[in-house]
Structure formats: structure tokens, C-alpha cells
Amino acid sequence: MIYMKIYKGLSASKGISIGNAFLLTGAIDNIEKVIVDDSSIEIKKFNDSVQISLIQIEKLKQKAINTVGKEESEIFEIHKMMVQDLDYQESVLSIISKENCNSEYAVYQTKNIFYKIFADMDDPYMNDRKSDVIDISDRIIKNILGNNEDHIEKNDSVIYFAVDLTPSATISLDKQKILGFVTKIGSSASHSAILARNLNVPAVVGIGDHFSDFDFSKCFIIDGISGIIIEDPDKETISEYRDKIKVIEEEEKKLSLHKDEPAITKDGVHIEINGNIGGVEDAESSNKHGADGIGLFRSEFLYLQGSDFPSEEVQFNSYKKVLEVMDGKRVIVRTLDLGSDKQASYFNIENEDNPALGYRAIRICLSQIGIFKTQLRALYRSSIYGKLAIMFPMIVSVEEIKKVKIIVEEVKKELDHEKIPYSNKVEIGVMIETPASVMISDKLAKEVDFFSVGTNDLTQYTMAADRMNANISEIFDPGNISIMRMIKMTVDNANKQGIWVGICGESASDTRFTKLYLSMGIKELSISPPMIPKLKEFIRRIDISEVRDRKLSMLY
């Protein structure tokens, strides 16, 4: 009898993996109540799970001390206290005994009760603890269900399943042990998809309600090329997919032979191919895959790692390390782009009805100047260790960039005063990711050295289509003529001022668009590092002068 089941989602990162499932924290959004014969067994399961959870949290704490520092690891001490909290434990035990139910359901109910208690508190510190209640409760539930972290340690790599994968949830993952991602919600521009592409593992997102049908104890095949997930595959299917994996590996091997050669078109135009990174590991991967430099360092990832703002020193060390790893190649660091889907709990950003249109990115920096200056100081201090450029996200007016430049000058003056050296050659750029910035790109071009088009947000804001919403993924189309016209307008305005334009949104690696981008005059493409060899190869086969007229005529 064959029990193999096939599910279809959206392909968000190509490739194929075969392996065991691991349910991530935050994946537990509904636990069914089951009446049990012997509640003492459930009480034991809960108590055992508490002990396992405490060991796991201590391990995470030690890992955090070694990677981000002691202060940042304090959150795990709070988690340990919460797991041992007597009121919390009593609530679980009383639900098990009174309702004769399964222990995971009792924890789930307790999570909901305590979440509400914390959410109703006015004190911002206590209010913040509501997300910790979710975290520790989901951990206990997963351990009751036998889907725990030790399992990962014993069983190598796994396919991660999650309702959604927030950027902060990805921080604690061991990147070496990720075979792929499957998420209930999300689209190919979501940050889980971006992470998957950076790691060169497949991702299938937007599974929807089928998510609750999975049997996580089974083996899975995840096919990121066609967006298919196969649960409990039979032998023939596994062997068929093993063959497909071999073909992919062969192709990657061939491409890697020329990865370090530049991407020069047939008619002699050099296109800079850079890596999009979230930290030092990705910079190393960019080098490995033949990047000309870094086109987007999402610096907000430094802010998502701990329980408080990263200090100037922590940031300085990260920027310096990336510059050193890139060894003289240009590194474009984007200043923090927090808010919207990238929330740091300590930030205390109020709940917003429309966070993507809310208090985020440069808006935070221009209203909390201390935070901004700390980052700029760290950046300028690091600038002597390589070729640094800085760009600013979510710009919507010339006034904003003028204010930014004043603050930059203030920071430089402070450094002069303190006799701290910095480079005078740091290029300044603006991300073109709002329709407003496109429309004023003629004016913005007079203020900066370069533009980098963020097609993820530009598409979201132009098409009025949430980049995270799988239901409208067809409307979220960076290939739409309106987006293409916007990029063309941006490049034309930039050319008039003699500044260069690159693209760092996910569409930069989509070869369906490359000929049109190059025809417009795009000079740089910044993409997930593992995709670099393929894009370089594709560009080497283009003759821009041959395709330009035909491609541009499609825009009007």
C-alpha cells in the first residue's frame, strides 16, 4: 500500500532535498484536545518536556554568549524562569487533571491564557513578555510531541516546517543543518525565501491550510523547482529525485568553473555581480561563489540577534569583518531596515494596522537619531578596513536624504574631534524602493553617488500587493510593466547626473528580466550568493546592442 502524499505550494527557492521534518517554534497555531485514560502519563510527559526545554534553553544561552555576547543572552535566562514559573506550571497541571486531556493541549491553553495576561499589561517590559510565552510554550509542546532540538543534533540536517519564518526566528538556526523550508504562509519575496536562496536550499511557501495535514514523523521530498512537497515518498520516487539532484549538482559544478571570471556581455559591457548578505557567513559565501562585492548587507540582522540594540562595538566588529573578508571589494551596507516584517522585540514598536506603511527603516533613524548615529559611527570607523559604501532604505523625499547627509556630517565631525580615522571615499546611495523615490529620482540623483533598486518593496508598494501574501502572489509581479517603467525612469534620471544604478531586490537574479535591465542601463545586480555563477554565465551570452531596441520598445 502506498501512502505517499503530494502537496503543492509556491516555489520560493529552487533545488531539491530529501529528509526529515522539523517543526519550528511558531508553527503551533492549533492543538486539538484529546481525552486521555490516564492523566498521570500526561503529567509526566509535561514534566519531562520542561526538563528537556531547560537544557535546550541553557544551550541556546551559551551559544548566544559565544556569538553575540553576555548581555544579549539574558533573554534565555528569562525563558528559563518562565518555564519554571509556578503559576504557569500549575495552570498546565490543573488543565490536565480537570479536563483529563493531552498535555500538549494543556500547554497550548496555558499559552493563550498567559499571552492575554501579558498583552493586557501596560508596562512595556511586561507586555513584551507575551512573545516569550509563545516561544517557551511552543518549545514545551514540541518536546512533548517528540520533535525536539536534540533530534536535530543526532539526525543531521532537516527540512524546517513553520507557519511563517520571521527573520528573528531564523537567527538561532544552525545554517549547516538546513535542508529546506516549507511554510504555511509567505511568498517568494518573504524573508524565509530569501534566506533559503542564500543558503542554496529549496523552499516551498504558501502551503495554506494543508499545513495541518502534514505528518511530521514522515520523510519528505521538497522540490523547490515545481513547488511540490511529497510526504512519505516510495522507493521509486526517492530514486527518481536522487537522479534529479545529481543533474543539478553536475550543472552547478560546470557553472562554478567560470564563477570568478567577470560578467562581461558580448558587446563588452561589464556588469557588476554582487552578493546580498545578512552577515559574515554570507560574505564568505559571496566570495566562494565569485561575487564582485557586496551589493546589499541587510544590517538589520545584527539588530535581530539579541535582546537589545547592538552596541557600536558589536556593529563595528561585524562591518570590519565583512570588509576584511571582501578584501578590497566594495561592500554596500544598508542602514537598519527594522519595522514591518522585521521586528526586534526590544524596540517596542506599537502595533500598527499597516506596518509595511508604518514606522520603519529611515523613519526610525530620523526620529531616534541616537540609534542612527551609533550605526553611522560604527560604519565610518570600519571604513578604513576596505571599500565601504552606505545606502539608506525607504526614502520618500529629498528632505529625508538631506537630513541623513547632515547627520552623516555630524558623525564625521565627532570622529574628527575624537581623532578616530575613517575613509573619505565612502559612497552614499539611496534605495529606490518606494514609488515616491522613483518620481523624484531626478532630484535624489543630485544628492547621492548611486541608486540601488529594491524591487521587493517597489513591487509591493506599486502593485499595492503585500509581498508576504501568498494569495496575491500573481499580482506581486516585479516583471509588471509599471515596475519596469519605474526602473527605466530611475536609470534615465541617474544617467543625467552621471550616477550608476543597481538592483538588489530578488528580481535581480531572475533571468527573465536580465536583458531588459541591461538594455535600460543597469550596471550592477546584487543577488543571493549561490545564484551568482548562473547569472554571470547568462550575462556573458547577451549582446545588449542587439536586444536593446526590441526590449525597450516593449515598455511603451
Active site residues: 191, 504
By a kind-dependent CB cut-off of 5 to 8 A, residue 149 interacts, out of ligand PEP, Mg ion, none, with: none
Backbone angles phi, psi at 376, to 5 degrees: -65, -40
Residue 151 is placed in which grid cell? 533530534
CB nearer to ligand PEP: pick between 89 and 397: 397
CB of 189 to ligand PEP, least distance (A): 7
CB of 394 to Mg ion, least distance (A): 7
Which of 148-156, 206-214, 301-309, 453-461 is the region at the interface with ligand PEP (rule: CB under 6 A)? 453-461
Which of 54-62, 222-230, 245-253, 454-462 is the region at the interface with ligand PEP (rule: CB under 6 A)? 454-462
Point out which residues pair with 432 in neighbouring strands.
453
How far is Cα 183 from Cα 189, in angstroms, rounded to an integer?
13
Question: Which residue has the closest beta carbon to Mg ion?
Answer: 457
Look at the block and give the residue holding cell 529528509.
19
- Interface mask (CB under 5 A) for Mg ion, residues 396-435, using x and -? -------------------------------------x--
| Candidate list 504, 518, 522, 531; residue touching ligand PEP; CB under 6 A | 504
By a kind-dependent CB cut-off of 5 to 8 A, residue 504 interacts, out of ligand PEP, Mg ion, none, with: ligand PEP
Strands 10-13 and 203-205: antiparallel
Residue 309 is placed in which grid cell? 540594540
How far is Cα 508 from Cα 518, in angstroms, rounded to an integer?
11
CB of 297 to ligand PEP, least distance (A): 11
CB of 487 to ligand PEP, least distance (A): 12
CB nearer to ligand PEP: pick between 91 and 276: 276
Strands 158-162 and 16-23: parallel
Closest to 473 measured CA to CA, from 13, 10, 8 = 10
Which of 14-22, 132-140, 203-211, 450-458 is the region at the interface with ligand PEP (rule: CB under 6 A)? 450-458
| Candidate list 275, 310, 454, 530; residue touching ligand PEP; CB under 6 A | 454
Is 295 near Mg ion (CB under 5 A)? Answer: no
CB of 524 to ligand PEP, least distance (A): 13
| Candidate list 456, 462, 473, 528; residue touching ligand PEP; CB under 6 A | 456
Q: Is residue 444 classed as helix, strand or coil in its secondary structure?
A: helix
290 residue type, one letter: G
CB of 433 to Mg ion, least distance (A): 5
Q: Is residue 128 classed as helix, strand or coil in its secondary structure?
A: helix
CB nearer to ligand PEP: pick between 298 and 536: 298
How far is Cα 504 from Cα 451, in angstroms, rounded to an integer?
10
Taking each helix axis as running N to C, give the angle between helix 532-540 and helix 235-256, from 0 to 180 degrees, rounded to the nearest 10. Answer: 60
| Candidate list 292, 337, 447, 524; residue touching ligand PEP; CB under 6 A | 337
Task: For the sheet with 178-183, list strands across it.
Answer: 5-8, 228-231, 219-223, 16-23, 158-162, 178-183, 203-205, 10-13
Which of 68-76, 107-115, 379-387, 448-456 is the region at the interface with ligand PEP (rule: CB under 6 A)? 448-456
Interface with ligand PEP in residues 280-319 (CB under 6 A): 296, 298
CB nearer to Mg ion: pick between 457 and 524: 457
**Any residues with CB less than 8 A from the CB of 118 and at least 6 apart, and which?**
126, 127, 128, 129, 130, 133
| Candidate list 282, 457, 466, 510; residue touching ligand PEP; CB under 6 A | 457
- Interface mask (CB under 5 A) for Mg ion, residues 445-474, using x and -? ---------x--x-----------------
CB nearer to ligand PEP: pick between 298 and 515: 298
How far is Cα 84 from Cα 283, in angstroms, rounded to an integer?
40
Strands 16-23 and 219-223: antiparallel
Is 433 near ligand PEP (CB under 6 A)? Answer: yes
- 280-286 long-range CB contacts below 8 Å, 24 or more apart? 280/318, 280/321, 280/322, 280/325, 281/175, 282/198, 282/529, 283/321, 283/322, 283/325, 283/326, 283/331, 284/325, 285/198, 285/529, 285/530, 286/326, 286/529, 286/532
Is 279 near ligand PEP (CB under 6 A)? Answer: no
| Candidate list 279, 505, 521, 529; residue touching ligand PEP; CB under 6 A | 505
- For the chain, the 3-state helix, strand and coil shares in percent, each to the nearest 5, are 55, 15, 30
State the alpha helices, DSSP H only, in 68-190.
70-83, 86-99, 103-119, 124-144, 149-154, 167-171
Residue ranges that bind ligand PEP, judged by CB under 6 A: 296, 298, 337, 433, 454-457, 504-505
Residue ranges that bind Mg ion, judged by CB under 5 A: 433, 454, 457
